[in-house]
Structure formats: structure tokens, C-alpha cells
Amino acid sequence: MATVTAPRQSKDRVARVARRSLWLMRELPVIPLLVLAMLTFVAIFAPVLAPHSKLDPVKPTQAQCMARYEMANCPYVDNLPPFWLPQSSFSVPLGTDYLGRDILSRLMYGARISLVVALIGTLAAGVIGTWLGVLAGYLGGWWDQIIMRITDAWLTLPSLVFAILLSSVRGPGLWNVVLILTLVFWSRYARIVRGGVLGLREQDFVKLAEINGVKKRRIIWRHIIPNVMNTVMVVFSLQIGVAVIIEASLSFLGVGVPPPEPSWGLMMAQERESLMEGRWWLAVFPGVCITLLVLSANMLGDWLRVRLDPQLRNR
Amino acid sequence: MRTFLLTRAFYSVITLWLLVSIVFGLVRLTGDPVKMKAEAGADEAYMQQLRQDWGLDQPVYRQYTNFLGNLVRGDFGHSFTKSLAVRTIYFDRLPNSLKLGLAAFAISMLLGVPLGMLSALKPNTWLDSLGKMFALLGLSMPGFFIGLVLVIIFGVELGWLPVLGKGRSAFVWGEPSTWVTFWFQDWQYLAMPAFALGWYFSGAMLRITRSSMLEVIGSDFIKLMRLKGIPEWVVMAKHALKNSLIPILTLAGLNLLVMINVAVVIEVVFNWPGVGQLLYDALVNRDFPMVQGVVLMSGLLIVVLNFVIDVLYAYTDPRIRLSR
């Protein structure tokens, strides 16, 4: 009989899994996912896709040099307008910046910086924060008191202020920004994960494992961590947007990613004077890029939160 | 109630002490302030002098106790670049930040709370989606980008509003004549930075108002009132709103503090001489005691506010004070 019932069960199982995954995919945020995928693609293949160098000025044509300087040869032409304005050229579709560098290429490499910094920073913070939250929640007692008091104190400072304090000591630098994001953000994971673990600890399957004499380390790895992963993923996706904004803000203030690297925030800071002369696009292009990235990450995060957090599901 | 107050006060002091220790520890772990100050090829004697001035030649535990002792006496150290006490400079800038913060706060409340209520009253309609989009955009656009776009539109293209500074009105602690006029003059300078700062927070207010209202609307006592036939608008305006106010007001209070203390990028974009710009200038000039002072000040204010909020909660809700 077993041989007869087994396939039927597995068929049901397949159907159940399919139904469940279909249900999970309901209202999937397609546009944000597409935007994120596109930005990631551009970031990975920036060296192939970018039409020009990110650091060197674009070699101008003779006509451009004549139009600007009335000379046949010039090293570069700065502040070329984007394609819809007169005097633009299609080899530099979004124009050039104040040093004659191609804006489009710099934006592409900028995606790389934003994504790398935000992803690594948030991931490192997630690993540390989750681990401390699990320790505090599961071990309880003094561990809990010490870790949570430190977390609370850590959370009192607004993240940008905290980041500025650390960057005032570390100075500018890409990896410094990653370190700063890690140091600032771990506490958010710790607080939320600990709350989840406190609930899990009282559940029957954890109690049973304890009664059966399973080692604490094994309980944490097999039962606690897999069950808090949902929460961690929600926090992770919501923190990425914040991390991108913090990186852009630090770079805008001149203590994030140092020039000449093309960070979006830095590009906006460098074009303050162009704004006053009417070249608004120089600040708007990077700003739109930041907004698109953060907006998509936030929408994905909101969707995940509604999907993965049962208390919010029916709102 | 008294035990509760004492416990909360004790926790606040612990939090404050830990915060100060974290700042002390991280600063010393992540780098040497003297090296940073004297990076551009300063000679050894000068660096030695600096070390002595800051007490960095002493053992770490002595440094720590000195640091704590000075803070307890309200001494945040001296600025490098301005040779004034950090505290004096901070309190000179505070009224400007307060003005910007209050204006942004007003905007965030006036936009966020009514929109959030409307979204909650008509969930899953076009109004709700509009509110959602407004909040999402506010939360996703960096403040300096909103600021720059406003400058481009209203400052450069239309020329309606001044793009920099805070106007002529100044607040002077010793001159009572400025205490009132300061808040009402030169508002055209205030409009753009206040909106750029306020949008983010109105997004946050909208979200919390909406979710808090939805939670209350779904609760049993609202259902009972509806069953009793009380007019819908009375139920909403009188009972639902009142009961959903606590989280809204908590977030509003915290937001106000955050706006006053961290409007760094906005103040830099608009050259607004508040605490945020002070922090930025200190950062650029590598004025380390100033950075540390401003950061500790904002931490202190937030811990105090959290304590006040806890006390108010306990005062209004007996369940909270009895559970501990």
C-alpha cells in the first residue's frame, strides 16, 4: 500500500508547495524588482557598458573644440549639455561634468559604489546584530542585560550623527564607509531579533529539544536561527535604503567615498555651482539614481514585511 | 509610581553612561585624534603638545575618568578652531536649529497626520495609494536632493525664494527684544529648508498615523460603538483618533529632536547656521572636540526625552506602570 500512497502524497506536496509559493508571490513588486535588477546589472558590468572612462575626461571632437574655444584641439570640453539641448553630442548622451568627464559612465560606476557599500555594510551589520540578538534572547540573564543595554544606548544616536562622528575619526574612504555602516546598523538587528527569539524560546519544539538534551549551540543553529531569518530579511531589505542614503549623505558632506571616485552623493556635492548657473541636470541625474535605488529597495522591503510578518499580513 | 520613576531614571542614567562610554571607546578604537588633527606633516613637538593638552599622554583609565568628570560638570571641551567652549558655541547656534526644526515639525504634522488619517479611513482607495506614494517618496529621497531640486525650481528658475542663509533676524540670549521677533521674521528663507527637512518626517508621520488608526478602528470598542448606532464621524473623530494618538505623539516628539539635531545635510545645502552646520564645519575643519560635543548633546537630549515619554506613558496607562 505504501508504494501506492507515496506518489499521491508527494503529488499533494508538490501542489501544496506550488500553491504556497504562488501565494507568496502575490502582489510581487515587479517594477522595483526590475529597477533593482537593472541597477545591479549595470553595477556588475559597468566596465563593459560604460562608453567612457570614469576618471579621465572625454576626448572631444574638433567641432566641439571649435564651438567652445575656437581651437582645433583641446584636452577636454567641460559642462557639455545632455542630448536634448543644442551643442550636445550623442557619444556623451548625458553631457560632461566640470572636468569634462562623461556623466553617464560615472553614474554607472556610481551604482557599483552605492550597491557595494550598502550591501556589504548592511550584511556585516546583519551578521553581527543577528548573532548578538540571538545570544541575548536565547541565553537570557546577564547576557541579555549587558547586550541589550549596550544596544539601547547605541540606538539613542540618530544614524547619520553617529556615522558623522565615526567618519570624523576615520576620515574619507570607501571601506571606512562600510565599517561605519556596520558599526551603526548592527544594533537595529539585535533589538528586533532578540524580540523574536524570546517568543521562540517558549515554543514547544525548542522546549522539546531542550528536554531531549540537545546542546545549546545546536538548538541555536537548527531551531532558533532558521526561524528568525524571516525577520532578519525584512530588516535587511529595509536597511539597505537607509544605508544608501547614509553613504550618499556622507559623500555629499565630503567624508564618504573620496574624489575622484564617482559616488552619487559626491557628484551632487561637486555640482553646487553649476546649479546656480542653470545646469540643473548635473545634480538631478545622480539624485534620481539614488531615489530610484532607495525607492525600489524600500518597496521590496515593505512587500517582504507584509509577506513575512503574519501580524501585518491582512492590513 | 515612585518605584517605576526611579527604575526608569536609573535605566536612563545607565543608558547615558553607556552612550558616553561607547563614544569614548569607539573614538579611541577607530583612530587617533591627534594624528588626524596633525596629518599634514606636523612636527613631533606639536603633536606631543597636543597630546598633553588633551590628556592623551595619560593612561586610558585616567583619560576616561577625566572625560566623565568633565561631562558631569557640563564641560564638553574646547573647540580647536574657535578657542571657545564647545557649550557656548552650541547654545549660540541652537535657536537657529530650533527655528528650522519647529517649522519642519509643523510641516510634518500638518501634512503627515491628516493624510495618514484619510488613508486609514479609506484604506485601499486611490487616496490611500496617493498617501503611500507621498510617504514612500519622502522616505526614499535624500534630504539634500529634495533641497537641491527646490533650489533649482524656486531659487534659480523662478527666483521666488532666496537660496542661501537665514536672513537678518538673529536671536541673542541677552536681548529680550529678539526673543519674539526672531521666530516670525525672514520666513522666506525658512520655507525651502523646512519643507526639504519636513517631507521625510511627514512620510514617517503618515505611516504611523495610518497604522495606528487602523489598529484602533479594528478593535472591539469601535465595533461596539458602530453597533450602537453612533454616527460614523463621531466614532472616528472623537474615539478612534484619541486612542491612536499615543504612538503618533511619541514619534512626533522624537522627530522634533532629530530634526533639531541632525538637519546636517539640509543646513549645509541652504547654508543655514544651525547645529547641523556647526557639526559639518567641525567635521571639515577636523575640530574633533566640537564634533564629539554636538553628538553627545544630541544623545543627551534624546535620552532625556525618552525618559519623559516613558513617564508620560506610565502616567496615562496604568497597565504599563503596574507591569514592572
Model pLDDT for residues A155-183, shown as the tens digit of each residue: 888 888 888 888 877 778 889 899 999 99
Cell of A269: 556635492
Q: Which of B97, B140, B206 to mutate to test the interface with A (most CBs of A within 10 A)?
A: B140
Express each pLDDT in A118-135 by its tens digit.
999 999 999 999 999 999
Calpha distance B53→A269 (Å, rounded): 35
Of B15, B137, B284, the CB nearest to A254: B284
Q: Chain A partners of B279 at a C-beta cutoff of 8 Å?
A: 161, 164
Calpha distance A131→B136 (Å, rounded): 30
Q: What percent of chain A has pLDDT over 70?
A: 92
Cell of B52: 598633553
A313 pLDDT more than 60: no
Calpha distance B280→B265 (Å, rounded): 8
Per-residue pLDDT, averaged over A84-99, amounts to 77
pLDDT attached to residue A125:
94
What string of pLDDT tens digits covers the 324 residues of chain B?
A: 778 888 888 888 988 889 888 888 877 776 666 666 666 566 777 777 777 777 777 788 888 888 888 888 888 877 777 778 888 888 888 888 888 999 999 999 999 988 998 888 888 888 888 888 899 898 899 888 998 888 888 888 887 888 777 777 777 777 777 777 777 777 788 888 999 999 989 998 998 888 888 888 888 888 888 888 888 888 887 788 888 888 888 888 888 888 887 688 898 888 888 888 888 888 887 777 788 888 888 888 888 888 888 888 777 776 666 654
Structure ipTM: 0.84
- Scan for cell 553628538, then name that residue: B295
Of B211, B262, B284, the CB nearest to A160: B262
Q: Is A3 exposed, middle or buried (0-12, 13-18, 19+ CB in 10 A)?
A: exposed
pTM of the entire structure?
A: 0.85
Q: A293: nearest CA in chain B?
A: B140
A315 pLDDT more than 60: no
Q: Which of A148, A169, A251 to mutate to test the interface with B (most CBs of B within 10 A)?
A: A169
Q: A168: nearest CA in chain B?
A: B283
Calpha distance B249→B241 (Å, rounded): 12
pLDDT attached to residue A314:
44
Q: Chain B partners of A291 at a C-beta cutoff of 8 Å?
A: 137, 140-142, 145
CB contact under 8 A, B139 and A241: yes
Calpha distance B269→B279 (Å, rounded): 14
Give contacts of B 196-225 with A, CB under 8 A.
Answer: 211, 214
Calpha distance B78→B298 (Å, rounded): 18
**Nearest Cα residue to B266 out of B254, B277, B252:** B277
Strand partners, A96: A102
User: Measured over all CA atoms, what is the biggest interatomic distance in chain A, rounded to whole angstroms?
Assistant: 92
**Contact predicate A139/B4, CB 8 Å:** no
Q: Is B39 exposed, middle or buried (0-12, 13-18, 19+ CB in 10 A)?
A: exposed
Q: Chain B partners of A169 at a C-beta cutoff of 8 Å?
A: 26-27, 30-31, 33, 36, 288
Give contacts of B 61-100 with A, CB under 8 A.
Answer: none
pLDDT attached to residue A203:
86
Per-residue pLDDT, averaged over A287-294, amounts to 93
Express each pLDDT in A209-258 by its tens digit.
889 888 888 988 888 888 888 888 888 988 999 999 999 999 998 888 88
More confident residue, A263 or A97: A263
Q: Which of A36, A159, A168, A240 to mutate to test the interface with B (most CBs of B within 10 A)?
A: A168
B140 at interface of A, judged by CB pairs closer than 8 A: yes
Q: B10: nearest CA in chain A?
A: A149
Of B22, B141, B152, the CB nearest to A154: B22
Calpha distance B205→B103 (Å, rounded): 15
- Scan for cell 561631562, then name that residue: B71
A8 pLDDT more than 50: yes
pLDDT attached to residue B40:
59
Of A152, A157, A249, the CB nearest to B142: A249
CB contact under 8 A, A157 and B140: no
pLDDT attached to residue A297:
92
Q: Which amino acid is at B249?
A: L
**How far, CA to CA in Å, does A123 sit from each of A226, B101, B183?**
17, 33, 45
Q: Which residues contact A226 (CB under 8 A, 6 or more apart)?
A: none
pLDDT attached to residue A7:
52
Q: Cis omega (within 30 of 0) on the bond before A260?
A: yes
Burial B253-272, CB ≥16 within 10 A → b, else e: bbbbbbbbbbbbbbbbbbeb
pLDDT attached to residue A35:
92
Of A169, A253, A278, the CB nearest to B265: A253
Q: Is B87 exposed, middle or buried (0-12, 13-18, 19+ CB in 10 A)?
A: middle
Q: Taking phi first (over 0 means left), then psi (-120 to 50 degrees means alpha), and beta for anything else, what does residue B259 get?
A: alpha
B148 at interface of A, judged by CB pairs closer than 8 A: yes
Q: How confident is the model at residue A277 (pLDDT cuts 50, 70, 90)?
A: confident
Q: How confident is the model at residue A185 (pLDDT cuts 50, 70, 90)?
A: very high
